[in-house]
Amino acid sequence: MRILDQIVALFRALFRSGRVDADLADEMRFHVERETEANIARGMSPTAARRAARLTFGSIDEAQELSRDDRPGAAIRQMVRDVNFGARLLRKSPVFGITAIAIITLGVGAATAIFSVVYGVMLRPLPFHDPSRLVTVWLTRASGRLFPSAADAAELRQLRGVFTDVALVRSSNINLSLVGDGEPQRLQSARVSPNLFSVLGVSPALGRTFTSDEDQRGRERVVLLSDALWRSRFGADHEVIGRQIRLDGMTYTVIGVMPPEFQYPTTGLDAWIPAVLEPGELSRVTLNNYRLVARLDPRVTVDQARREAAALAKRLGSSYQWNAGAGFTVDSMLDDAVRSVRPALNLLLGAVSFLLLIACVNLSNLFGARATARSGEFAVRLALGATRPRLIAQAIAEAAPILVIGGAFAVVVAWWAVHAFVAGAPAGLPRVETISLSAPVMVYSLALLAVTGLAASVVPAVQAWRSDFTTVTKDRSRSSTSGRGRSVARRIGVAAQIAFALPLLVGASLLIQSAIEVGRVRLGFNSDRVATLSFEVSRTKHESDQAAAEYYAQLVTAVRAVPGVMNAAIVNRIPLVGAQTNAVRFENATGASEREVLIDSRTVTPEYFATLGIPLIAGRTFTDHDDGSSPEVAVIDERLARATWPGEPVVGKRFRGPPSGGWVTIIGVVGHVRTAGVEVDPQPQVYWTTRQWVQNRATLAVRGDLESRALFPAVVKAIRSVDRDQSVFDARSMQEIVDRSLAQRRLTTTLMVGFGGIALLLAAVGIYGVVAYGVTQRLREFGIRVALGATRREVTRLVVWQGTSMAIAGSAIGLVLTIAAAGAMRNLVYGVAPRDVASILGATMLLMLVASVASFIPARRAAAVDPAVTLRAE
């Protein structure tokens, strides 16, 4: 009960202090009156009695004050008073307040926004059971990472005590059409091994997941729905379990609905179906690509798993040709998911941290200047009996209103920035859906605010501690160069801002140059007036390869007949969107096949090269006569041709490879295309014709009058005239595809340029503030100098030098920082070195220029002093 009593007392003291004070005053008044009466009883006159009573009691105010200090919550009340005082100061000098709030808003807001992205994408645990134990496994070769095969997965599963289980996911999105009433809907789905859900440790929201025998032919017609599809197409009906739906012409039974947060392997999937292994997959006769996800055995670390997998790769390499020279990489699932964005996010986090440091130093200088201006006040209060800890507490509490307002604005700015970011997130940024101002982000933000608060109050606090009546009053009367120690601290602060600003400016410059270089890249195709439309051919309807190829040809013919269409073609994957890798062996001079070469393979209809504007360099392209009954032929790109047969005619050469594994004759050479990405120099390219190698995935490329709004509906109508159940998706212009592949770079560049600009602005304001303040302090000195014969030019030079000397010192440190941090840029620059001398020099010059301008303005004021006025001023 004691604690409760104390809480009640604290509450009373804090919130009912008026009542407590009144009670005490009443009591004390009674005391004096009673004493007066006693005095009268002793024979004094009433006036004398009252006087004597008052005298013995002493000051009622003092007694009240004493008992108030002794009451609970005294410290809290004191703080409230200091904070109130801080708020009054803020109202009194709004420019100071607005500047400080703006600095906090920019610094903390930007840092919070970037951290929320970093946290959401890179740090937040994956939404699976014990996600730190989940790993992905890839097959690696010198040329890059490849998807392993089902046979590899089976071997990995056999490793004793390394993985508890290994699950397979068919990496390419298999697109099923949900056919029924109305418009055929294309579903994005994944084929997965039945154990996927136990490996990830997720349960369905409704129904069940796959049983272990549902990957057997005959039992595989079962489907799990996504929450989104269940809601949009089935009205969130709980009776959906057990219902038969038709997918791609076949009947499936709905067995479960996954919870909304289950988005694997990619976001926006509609359905999961069992992956049925084709006969021959486990014996490596047929190779299919799978994404592998495995759960580590509890006793095994990732490193141990890596070693075991590497040893396995070596064993497999000696037994199977495809695995020769290949290794396995085992990575934590989260690391693997964010691999592509890690360098950019790390860079942005580093940049925003520098920006925050600049903001802190700036804030510290700002508050320091104010404290200096109030040093007299501090000294007087100290002389009147205030304790030093009391003054320090006040210095911290006074900064509180500015911090609270700045912090609130920072959260608003961060909230807005995060929403804008998520809405316009570059395509391919993983885990965008988890980006938000979550609790850990808010904790981080509060910590940042505490750091800025510390920065704001440390100088005033130190000053209060050192405050001493005699020096302050002496300082004032001797109005020459005051507070040397303090002005040095401020100048170091400015130099630090320059030092942190330099790497940001260099980074921005490097990214701008990279963006220009990337803009100059020749893609190898003409994106102008080309649009694309994807679809998936139904192999139940067009069962034989020949029928499917014929269907493609019909589609192309129908689309080419549409008014406004100049040309049209079908390709399995359009450049910059996806790639397929295969191995081929080129015939060498002796007729034997040489070692395997990994190539980027595409299957196209004959009009493909013309439609995308890929130039034919030698030989011919495909015709309709290159079909199943004629010899297998291929077209290769010029770079591959030059590398394989330098100086020799290529047409007529042969290689062994898909689709049958037999000899394929090269009939033509075409231009090199950037297929995997604008910035990635891709693998060598080989093209096949759809009539000899048909694939279910298809993208229609159309060259035509894209300005016309009627074009797309007409194209879709033409497709439906061939097959009215054909669903289409992803209608985009080729330019849009190019833009999308550059979106991440563009965003990183924009943010870096923004951070660099803010850093430059803050540094300029910082230099201006310190130099201007110095000029005010030294006006008398300048007056004397001018009176003694210094020219205005000399005074100007003196002041400008004060500013630029800070900039030079800061730049020197900044150069060291820049060179040390250049490694962070290595993966982000294109066509420019991470330690590009021109960028570093340019950024340094820019900072110097800004420093000169920022100190020239106060210098003019110093040069304009009239000795007659300044010397008489005090």
By CB under 8 A, name the binding residues for other proteins: 2, 5-6, 9, 23-24, 26-28, 30-31, 33-35, 37-38, 56-59, 62-63, 66-67, 70-72
For other proteins, the closer CB: 58 or 235: 58
Amino acid (1-letter code) at residue 107: G
Close Cβ partners of 149 (under 8 Å, ≥ 6 residues apart): 139, 281, 284, 287, 288, 289, 290, 322
Residue 811 near residue 498 (C-beta atoms within 8 A): yes
For other proteins, the closer CB: 5 or 181: 5
Smallest gap from residue 5 Cβ to other proteins (A)? 6
For other proteins, the closer CB: 15 or 416: 15
Whole-angstrom Cα distance, residue 214 to residue 220?
5
Smallest gap from residue 30 Cβ to other proteins (A)? 5
> Dihedral through CA 500, CA 505, CA 507, CA 511, nearest 10?
160
For other proteins, the closer CB: 38 or 838: 38
Residue 667 near residue 620 (C-beta atoms within 8 A): yes
Residue 456 near residue 403 (C-beta atoms within 8 A): yes
For other proteins, the closer CB: 7 or 845: 7
CB atoms within 10 A of CB 835: 16
CA dihedral sign, ordered 203, 209, 213, 217: negative
For other proteins, the closer CB: 72 or 259: 72
Smallest gap from residue 52 Cβ to other proteins (A)? 13
Whole-angstrom Cα distance, residue 614 to residue 522?
12
Smallest gap from residue 12 Cβ to other proteins (A)? 10
Both tokens of residue 64? 């009240």
Smallest gap from residue 4 Cβ to other proteins (A)? 10
For other proteins, the closer CB: 24 or 521: 24
Smallest gap from residue 36 Cβ to other proteins (A)? 10
**Structure-token match 């030092």, residue found:** 499
Smallest gap from residue 45 Cβ to other proteins (A)? 19
For other proteins, the closer CB: 25 or 159: 25
Buried b (16+ CB within 10 A) or exposed e, 254-281: bbbbbeeebbbbeeebbbbbbbbbeeeb
Smallest gap from residue 70 Cβ to other proteins (A)? 5
Smallest gap from residue 382 Cβ to other proteins (A)? 25
Smallest gap from residue 360 Cβ to other proteins (A)? 42
CB atoms within 10 A of CB 554: 15
For other proteins, the closer CB: 62 or 725: 62
Buried b (16+ CB within 10 A) or exposed e, 350-379: bbbbbbbbbbbbbbbbbbbbbbbebbeebb
Q: How deeply is 761 buried, as exposed, middle or buried, from its count of CB atoms within 10 A (0-12, 13-18, 19+)?
A: middle
For other proteins, the closer CB: 60 or 89: 60
Smallest gap from residue 390 Cβ to other proteins (A)? 20
For other proteins, the closer CB: 33 or 377: 33
For other proteins, the closer CB: 70 or 707: 70
For other proteins, the closer CB: 28 or 743: 28
Close Cβ partners of 802 (under 8 Å, ≥ 6 residues apart): 771, 774, 855
**Degrees to nearest 5, angle at CA 528 with 525 and 530:** 85
Whole-angstrom Cα distance, residue 474 to residue 471?
5
Least Cα distance to 499 among 812, 843, 103 occurs for 812
Smallest gap from residue 27 Cβ to other proteins (A)? 5
Q: DSSP letter for 226, please.
A: -
Q: How far apart are the first and last CA of the chain?
A: 65
Ranges of beta strands (E only) in 647-696 are: 654-656, 663-670, 685-689
Smallest gap from residue 11 Cβ to other proteins (A)? 13
For other proteins, the closer CB: 42 or 793: 42
Smallest gap from residue 57 Cβ to other proteins (A)? 5
For other proteins, the closer CB: 43 or 485: 43
Distances from the Cα of 773 to the Cαs of 99, 395, 498, 637, 859, in angstroms?
Answer: 16, 21, 18, 67, 11
For other proteins, the closer CB: 2 or 484: 2
Ranges of beta strands (E only) in 763-857 are: none
Write the DSSP string, 166-216. EEEEESSPEEEEE-SSSS-EEEEEEEE-TTHHHHHT---SEE----TTTTS
Smallest gap from residue 484 Cβ to other proteins (A)? 46
Residue 822 near residue 835 (C-beta atoms within 8 A): yes
Both tokens of residue 337? 């998911």
**Degrees to nearest 5, angle at CA 265 with 261 and 271:** 70
**Structure-token match 């297998």, residue found:** 632
Smallest gap from residue 21 Cβ to other proteins (A)? 12
